[in-house]
Amino acid sequence: MTAKFAIRAGSTGIHLFDRQSGTNILCDEVTVPPSLWSRCPRQVSIALTNACDLSCAFCYAPKISAGLDHTIVSRWLVELSDHGCLGVGFGGGEPMLYPALVDVCGFATENTRLAVTITTHGHHITESIAEALRGKVNFIRVSVDAVGLKYEAIRGRSFSQLRNKICLIRTLSPFGVNCVVNSMTVDDLSALSDFAATEGASEILLLPQRKTNKAPGVDLPTMERLRGWIGSYRGPLQLSISEEAADGLPVHMDRSGEQGLRSYAHIDAKGTLRRTSFDSIGATIGQSSILNALDVLARQTT
């Protein structure tokens, strides 16, 4: 299959990316003037809906009912792709509860060069949904914080059923595991990493717990245990961590040299652009463009 590269220009040169093969080529011998740098973030996450049928205590997603019009999302996807974004992540809420999920994934695949990722708890994937999404998704992130009975206590769903869903997910696309790290889950990281490797995952994304109205943020002793575990980890999976928690940890990070809104942005289920999903400051996109909202947000946060 012939590669179809997305092109991004920035401070480090020209970046070529093929979503099918995962090929990344950086032409760092090219000096690109700032006026020609790609204007959209490298990666953008979009909360298609706030709907979710789980009630995890640590969840910081808004509980206000909201969902995005898929025709508006499609317009955003074209704009993102045209201005140098390389990948879009669809989440929520639970994106499998978004009626037009297959439509927006298909639109991104057919009309842009964006890599498409879905973040899901996994329990709504079915044979028919998997078949409809086949060829329209490049990576799936499955939220799994622990194994066995501890998983069931946290998520309120059957762990054996999750295994069955993952068997289906791995036929659809490469996948990774997202893990919220807190005092309850940190000591299960080895068991979780063994499970993820056995099931065929390619990476674990570690998400130290954020403070919410229901739960505190991750405490210092837990972060120290996390550091110790990462330092001793010798398993086959790539470890990644949320950017704000990295702090020198020996895990995979974005090496592009881009930071802030040049690296990442989030669009919530009401159409507000934010630096991250948990930021309080945002710019409403509305009938305007993402580029305009980026400019507004940049002025608000400088």
CATH number at residue 281: 3.20.20.70
Q: How long a stretch of residues is the chain?
A: 302
Task: Indicate if 77 and 197 belong to the same structural domain.
Answer: yes
Average pLDDT on 19-30 reads 90
Task: Indicate if 44 and 31 belong to the same structural domain.
Answer: no
Please give the full DSSP string across 227-268, using - where no structure is assigned.
HHHHHH--SSSEEEE-GGG-TT-SSB---S---GGGTEEEE-
* pLDDT reported for residue 4: 82
Average pLDDT on 28-54 reads 93
Given a cut of 50, whether residue 247 has pLDDT beyond it is no
Task: Indicate if 28 and 108 belong to the same structural domain.
Answer: no
Q: Which tens digits make up the pLDDT trace of 170-179?
A: 999 999 999 9
* pLDDT reported for residue 59: 80
Given a cut of 70, whether residue 203 has pLDDT beyond it is yes
DSSP label of 67:
B
The whole-angstrom separation of Cα 226 and Cα 187 is 8
Given a cut of 80, whether residue 100 has pLDDT beyond it is yes
Given a cut of 70, whether residue 79 has pLDDT beyond it is yes
Q: Where are the beta strands (DSSP E) in the chain?
A: 6-10, 13-18, 23-27, 43-47, 87-91, 115-120, 139-143, 175-181, 203-208, 238-241, 264-267, 272-274, 282-284
Task: Indicate if 19 and 151 belong to the same structural domain.
Answer: no
Task: Indicate if 54 and 10 belong to the same structural domain.
Answer: no
Q: What is the mean pLDDT of the chain?
A: 91
Q: Where are the beta strands (DSSP E) in 172-216?
A: 175-181, 203-208
The whole-angstrom separation of Cα 15 and Cα 26 is 4
pLDDT above 90 coverage of the chain, percent: 78
Residue 1 structural domain: 1-37
Task: Indicate if 96 and 214 belong to the same structural domain.
Answer: yes
Q: Which residues of 27-52 are buried (b: 16+ CB within 10 A; e: fewer)?
A: eeeeebeeeeebbbbbbbbbbbbbbb
What is the layout of strands, in order, in the sheet containing 23-27?
Answer: 6-10, 13-18, 23-27
Task: Indicate if 171 and 62 belong to the same structural domain.
Answer: yes
175 phi, psi to nearest 5 deg:
-145, 160
The whole-angstrom separation of Cα 281 and Cα 147 is 36
215 versus 232: the higher-pLDDT residue is 232
Task: Indicate if 76 and 151 belong to the same structural domain.
Answer: yes
Task: Indicate if 180 and 52 belong to the same structural domain.
Answer: yes
The whole-angstrom separation of Cα 72 and Cα 220 is 42
Average pLDDT on 224-235 reads 95
In which band, very low, low, confident or very high, does the pLDDT at 208 lie, cut at 50, 70 and 90?
very high
Task: Indicate if 107 and 27 belong to the same structural domain.
Answer: no
Task: Indicate if 286 and 190 belong to the same structural domain.
Answer: yes
Given a cut of 60, whether residue 22 has pLDDT beyond it is yes
Poorest-pLDDT segment among 55-59, 98-102, 203-207, 278-282: 55-59
Given a cut of 70, whether residue 246 has pLDDT beyond it is no
* pLDDT reported for residue 256: 60
210 versus 47: the higher-pLDDT residue is 47
Structural domains in the chain (count): 2
Residue among 253, 257, 283 at smallest CA distance from 268: 283
* pLDDT reported for residue 286: 87
* pLDDT reported for residue 255: 53
Q: Which tens digits make up the pLDDT trace of 107-166?
A: 999 999 999 999 999 999 999 999 999 999 999 999 999 999 999 999 999 999 999 999
Given a cut of 50, whether residue 292 has pLDDT beyond it is yes
Task: Indicate if 170 and 21 belong to the same structural domain.
Answer: no
In which band, very low, low, confident or very high, does the pLDDT at 289 lie, cut at 50, 70 and 90?
very high
Q: Judge whether 171 and 130 are in contact, CB under 8 Å.
A: yes
DSSP label of 34:
G
* pLDDT reported for residue 245: 46
